[in-house]
Structure 1
């Protein structure tokens, strides 16, 4: 195989040679000469790694960061290997990436520097390098005193505030009212108070809709927890669909939790909490959420209606290993107070697209009305399928033939299972070919 890309060489110190200048590319001879703030900024710009801490443990540089750009973490780590190799002296022989999400430690990946350089120069050494990479569960919090040689070089809180505008299209088709749509301009903002806490908010301005055609309200003895959707859309053009504070916590290597409160979605406000058990290298995860919510006024501001309910579910997640199908089974109490279960099957393709379907049966029985039970389909598409830049974000749509009140779930903005996607080891190794890109 021919050498790939620009030739990389290990920087050397004059003390290790006959005093001749360091080999190209140049690198600082001493760790004390490194501008760590500038290095963290370069990693963010070129790799999408939001660095919170940099530590040296013996001959290993530990990079504590959140991966924000590339869908495959190995692509971000491969790019970071190049940046670090060009900036650090030869005494650093390993790069260890300690990846987290919203303050939750997920995984540690270690790359031998010399093996990476050899593989980057000549793919014939690729297999040896790839087998030298290690990925393991990350401990909740590293101990600065764990090693006498450990030293913290950079320790900073994540960026405080960011925001952006985007279009948003909500659709419903296949029901008695035909095709319904709502096109909004959406303002999304987030302010981090620290590594484990943040305020989030979403405001929407309605550009166009045809919900004047929404008239189908079938007979039902259940509380109207979702069939007021037409009133929410028609009441105002400018609404707040999310304004909440969220805080995460890690109880152990495999236990994650979050608590949240505020305006949780277009129709409900309240408080809630979730806990998730997700071991590394396991296809099974178990979660539990509980929420106390109250229905909002139709104008989507700060007013509340009389209806309130306690809702929550116990959920099992199983990576079946069959064509990348994820099976989710939930049992619990829904917004209308009915009790039942939901089965959700989805498949994620290699290009990042996910397709799924769900069905919910509850004890509502005849009270549910036409349709008998809740069901639907959904599609999620990665944003980088539409743009030339890489992104971890996605967009999509769901289709449910009838908007009914039975089997209705709270639309929680953040869910721990998807927040901890990096615990899936198969997803990590699927990106091995991208480590050179």
Structure 2
């Protein structure tokens, strides 16, 4: 190796040498700047490396070798299509060199590395200064194309990649499958694809793709779609069999970063086989935290069945807003709402888990205002699109870096409800992996191209380190000790007294249900009240897995435990008391204790109990008394529907409030149990001393 240049000797030639070294490793969008404080700024993008820290590690290692000897600091900004993902600041270059030499553990290196969101303009613009280096490297290439075997999940492919961000790929053998639920007919096709990508500069990117069907088992007698709403996906088989040669996509995207944590995309062209259009997307990503929000609006026109240059008459505008929330243990929740392809309005809920291998598995379900009552829907019951999906990264099976994945989705039925257009470049999907890599642990996983992740648990975490049975057992035993407390029996007495006193309103409540139960406003409030226990359960579950916020996680766990305790208490009380429901016609004083079938008796109200149990820990922890009003909607719903006497709902509220308070109190107490963690670095134990 040649000696590193001195700071005074650094010039454009040295920048070109560093750029050439980075281009040779597959980096793109390389920009380099050395400021007057001897801080070296490097922005890079790598189309194949999936782990951000790994790409940063290769870039900073190269910069460390070729930068001036007096360089004080190196800042690496990884980018995606010109958009900055984060900024890695290495302030102790001696420690960095020792880490790469295997002389310093990662946990010590992490003390001298700062990772933060990169602001727009905080990294140099590549511009035209690297074009000369790129041209020289292109001229030195012996062959413009190469044959690749066993890469990116393909048996064989012909490809060409340029440092200027130009890529071509020809895959002569691929297969896709489709099962039509209406006929039980399994369809497959063997086809070839050609794809072209190019960085046009100034944030513009061109993407094109064509496919040629080589063999298939398509049948001409498949029944046409019987959808009663706008047909947007249920005739997908028509697109498959109409033409052998297809122009799958031809799209121009413009990416931008107007502000820190705000990413935008504008698109125009052929999005996919079935739709063309123009549209845009904006993504908001906080600097720290588990949330991300995006909104996408697209004006779309349906393409002809041949997927070439023809169009059909159907056009629409879709507008989808999405909220994404990362939970503990690799779980993630996404809620999408808005106007879908068939002009139906509603929401789609997605839940998935990402395993350590990178494999993702999840499910989705939707609810919209569609009028599709055909099977598997039924008259009066709208069909809800739902299914499960699996994503497998090829990286875990190959010896080279790749971002390629295999995706599988299984739906109950192929209908037109809650359908979305294939995004030409979904911003959240682009940023999800890099953002996860940056935020997990110390953000340096794979930095040195070695597996040195510290797998020791974070002792004391209420969620990540202990099983749910352990948590519930400890809290139940602790909460159970409250029954030896005089205040507990006082609270039980007050709840019993409130139930007895409220019995005087049983008859007026029943009269109200019979006379006003069909009123529009009453029905609307009843629908809201009926939903409270289920919405509160979902909220408690999400909160319980919020690994980034221990206070929120503990409150969610308390709510779930309170709900379970309330449910068990209600079932035992219903069996022991056996009170008749209002609709049974036997009156409010009819009781049949310990009788068969009592688990569906009236006292107490389980719906009400669950609503109050789930809500109470949050109301008390965050001092939000209005949440009790939300829980009271469940009381109103059960009385106005004639399902329960008024005193039943008071008893249910007392049970739920008591359970919620009890488990909330015990979740706030310090954990006095011994906790042991075993990892590659040894044994850790936490022993509380009093």
On whether the aligned pair clears a TM of 0.5, the verdict is yes
The answer to whether residue 176 in structure 2 is matched with residue 164 in structure 1 is no
- In the alignment, what sits opposite 1:397? 408
SS of the equivalent of 1:346 reads: strand
Report how far residue 239 of structure 1 moved: 0.3
Partners of 1:433 and 1:152 in 2: how far apart? 26
Report how far residue 220 of structure 1 moved: 2.6
- Contact between 1:37 and 1:154, CA under 8 Å: does it hold in 2? no
Partners of 1:368 and 1:280 in 2: how far apart? 46
Deviation larger for 133-142 or 177-186: 177-186
How has the CA–CA distance of structure 1 residues 306 and 218 changed in structure 2, closer, same or farther, with 3 Å as cutoff?
A: closer
- In the alignment, what sits opposite 2:65? 86
Pick one of 30, 34, 37 that aligns with 1:52. Answer: 30
- In the alignment, what sits opposite 2:142? none
The answer to whether residue 358 in structure 2 is matched with residue 346 in structure 1 is no
How has the CA–CA distance of structure 1 residues 359 and 79 changed in structure 2, closer, same or farther, with 3 Å as cutoff?
A: same
How has the CA–CA distance of structure 1 residues 258 and 115 changed in structure 2, closer, same or farther, with 3 Å as cutoff?
A: same
SS of the equivalent of 1:183 reads: strand
Paired residues for 1:11-30 under 5 Å: 26-29=3-6, 30=9
Give per-residue Cα distances to partners, 1:44-97, cap 9 Å, x unaligned.
333x43243101121221101113232222222222333222223321132210
- Contact between 1:190 and 1:198, CA under 8 Å: does it hold in 2? yes
Higher relative contact order (CA 8 A, sep 6+): 1
Partners of 2:75 and 2:394 in 1: how far apart? 29
- In the alignment, what sits opposite 2:46? 67
Paired residues for 1:63-142 under 5 Å: 63-111=42-90, 112-142=92-122
How has the CA–CA distance of structure 1 residues 428 and 68 changed in structure 2, closer, same or farther, with 3 Å as cutoff?
A: farther
Pick one of 241, 244, 254 that aligns with 1:247. Answer: 254
SS of the equivalent of 2:329 reads: coil
Partners of 1:84 and 1:56 in 2: how far apart? 11
Partners of 1:293 and 1:433 in 2: how far apart? 41
Give per-residue Cα distances to partners, 1:236-266, cap 9 Å, x unaligned.
1110111111111222112111111111111
SS of the equivalent of 1:323 reads: helix
Partners of 1:189 and 1:98 in 2: how far apart? 26
Report how far residue 407 of structure 1 moved: 1.7
The number of residue pairs the alignment matches comes to 406
Give per-residue Cα distances to partners, 1:256-298, cap 9 Å, x unaligned.
1111111111111111111111112121111111111111111
Report how far residue 391 of structure 1 moved: 1.5
- In the alignment, what sits opposite 2:284? 277
Name structure 1 gaps, 5 residues minimum: 1-23, 145-150
- Contact between 2:228 and 2:371, CA under 8 Å: does it hold in 1? no
More helix by share: 2
Report how far residue 412 of structure 1 moved: 1.2
Partners of 1:164 and 1:124 in 2: how far apart? 41
- In the alignment, what sits opposite 1:5? none
How has the CA–CA distance of structure 1 residues 108 and 386 changed in structure 2, closer, same or farther, with 3 Å as cutoff?
A: same
Deviation larger for 378-387 or 151-160: 151-160
Partners of 2:110 and 2:341 in 1: how far apart? 49
- In the alignment, what sits opposite 2:439? 426
SS of the equivalent of 1:435 reads: coil
Deviation larger for 53-62 or 71-80: 71-80
Q: CA RMSD in A?
A: 2.6
**Higher radius of gyration, 1 or 2:** 2
SS of the equivalent of 2:272 reads: coil
- In the alignment, what sits opposite 2:547? none
Partners of 2:32 and 2:414 in 1: how far apart? 50
More strand by share: 1
- Contact between 1:177 and 1:213, CA under 8 Å: does it hold in 2? no
Report how far residue 314 of structure 1 moved: 0.8
How has the CA–CA distance of structure 1 residues 383 and 226 changed in structure 2, closer, same or farther, with 3 Å as cutoff?
A: same
Report how far residue 125 of structure 1 moved: 4.6
- In the alignment, what sits opposite 1:10? none
- Contact between 1:357 and 1:377, CA under 8 Å: does it hold in 2? yes
Report how far residue 420 of structure 1 moved: 2.1
- Contact between 2:261 and 2:285, CA under 8 Å: does it hold in 1? yes
- Contact between 2:4 and 2:68, CA under 8 Å: does it hold in 1? yes
The answer to whether residue 242 in structure 2 is matched with residue 235 in structure 1 is yes
- In the alignment, what sits opposite 2:340? 334
TM-score for the superposition, normalised by structure 1: 0.85
Partners of 1:81 and 1:143 in 2: how far apart? 15
- Contact between 1:165 and 1:185, CA under 8 Å: does it hold in 2? yes
Partners of 1:108 and 1:365 in 2: how far apart? 49
